[in-house]
Amino acid sequence: MGEPLTPLRIGVVGAGKISGQYLATLATKEGMRLTAVTDLDPARAKEAAAASGAETVGSLVGLLARDDVDAVLNLTVPAVHAEVALAAIAAGKHVYGEKPLAATREEATAVLAAARAVGVRVGCAPDTVLGTGVQTGRKAVDDGLIGTPVAATGFMTTPGHEAWHPDPEFYYRPGGGPLLDMGPYYISALVHLLGPVAMVTGAASAPRAEREIASGPRAGQRFAVEVDTHVTGVLHHTNGALSTLLMSFDIHGARLPRIEVHGTEGSLSLPDPNTFDGPVQVWPARSHGWQPLPVSAGHEHAGRGIGLADLAAALATGRPHLASAELAEHVLDVMLTLLDSAHQGRTLAVTTTCERPAPVG
């Protein structure tokens, strides 16, 4: 037997709520080891580091200067995703970050260009698409179970995050809204299932000028809405399939499916793409109901951070990693172009593209 691979040493930037899910995955996956944590709140950094034997670092600069950090796990707020990524790349570190890759197209392009120039890897969430839900559905598509895909749907409906979040204003400011918040899960899944998007046709609205916080110490306070809260449209995939997308903070109740794919020989129903698993069902042509599909692909019992684990494994073998920055850049461009289309009232071309990611066996 060969020597065990040297673990990829991880430095975490940002120890907020989502970090707990990542740290749980880091603790169970071979090929990675948490070595350092930094956060604007030293107490949060200390708590996150203590559970894994990592060290607390006082600043991003200090973390990037460490010799025992090979890759940065970027869990900061979206507004500084690109800033942190560019700093890590300049220090010669690989980067894996939470979605979105950046706040603007220009920032996303800069991150990819910097990584290529230095020769480091950049990965980006969501990695839920690597779980059994999306991957079992993808295998069914690739195996021809529903014939040639012709259409898909992706629906995310909620009355708004102010119903449960004590400080929800950032969801309703530029860079927020249902599309940029939840769209990466749905559009990444649709690209895995059907390939990249060539054009988009969008419509959007903001029915309420104000929202009211419903929980926590600030319950009853009102705040202004600065973004579209109901976004819908059609994604024109390069393979000819059309996906209908609906992302809304204005729907109190719905019976809409999360994701469906419809082909010439049947239909597929997939689970919530914000989760890693769940039931996948097929409705074959000339049948009279949904039939369950057994799990046939994807990482089982996965959690957030499986994309970073895949990046570590890809580095060791030299293959491309699956939760790539190129996919994340394309997804960001699709979302921003959909909003541009809605505001301009016309179909627009998506300027980026990407390879359809390889399947998970």
Q: Provide the pLDDT for residue 5.
A: 63
Q: Provide the pLDDT for residue 170.
A: 87
As a whole-number percent, the residues of the chain with pLDDT over 90 amount to 92
145 shares its domain with 223: yes
What is d(CA 296, CA 313) in angstroms, rounded to the nearest whole number? 21
What is d(CA 173, CA 340) in angstroms, rounded to the nearest whole number? 17
Mean pLDDT, residues 1-15 taken together? 79
Residues 6 or more apart whose Cβ sits within 8 Å of residue 109:
329
246 shares its domain with 183: yes
Q: Provide the pLDDT for residue 3.
A: 44
Main-chain dihedrals φ then ψ at residue 253, nearest 5 degrees: -155, 145
Q: Is the pLDDT score of 361 beyond 80?
A: no
Number of domains in the chain: 2
Collapse the DSSP code of 123 into the 3-class scheme (helix H, G, I; strand E, B; otherwise coil) and give the result.
strand
Mean pLDDT, residues 230-247 taken together? 98
Mean pLDDT of the chain: 95
Residue 118 burial (CB count, 10 A):
13
Reported as type and span, the H/E element at residue 188 is helix 178-194
pLDDT tens per residue across span 253-300: 999 999 999 999 999 999 999 999 999 999 999 988 999 999 999 999
113 shares its domain with 203: no
For 76, the domain range is 8-124
Q: Provide the pLDDT for residue 1.
A: 36
Q: Where are any strands of DSSP class E within 240-301?
A: 242-248, 259-263, 266-270, 280-284, 291-293
- Residue 88: CATH number of its domain: 3.40.50.720
What is d(CA 247, CA 181) in angstroms, rounded to the nearest whole number? 9
In a domain, 303, yes or no: no
- Residue 193: CATH number of its domain: 3.30.360.10
What is d(CA 344, CA 252) in angstroms, rounded to the nearest whole number? 28
Q: Provide the pLDDT for residue 2.
A: 42
Q: Whole-model pTM? A: 0.94
Q: Which one of 66, 94, 124 terminates a domain?
A: 124
139 shares its domain with 40: no
118 shares its domain with 162: no
115 shares its domain with 206: no
In a domain, 96, yes or no: yes
66 shares its domain with 160: no
22 shares its domain with 162: no
Collapse the DSSP code of 198 into the 3-class scheme (helix H, G, I; strand E, B; otherwise coil) and give the result.
strand
Mean pLDDT, residues 234-245 taken together? 98
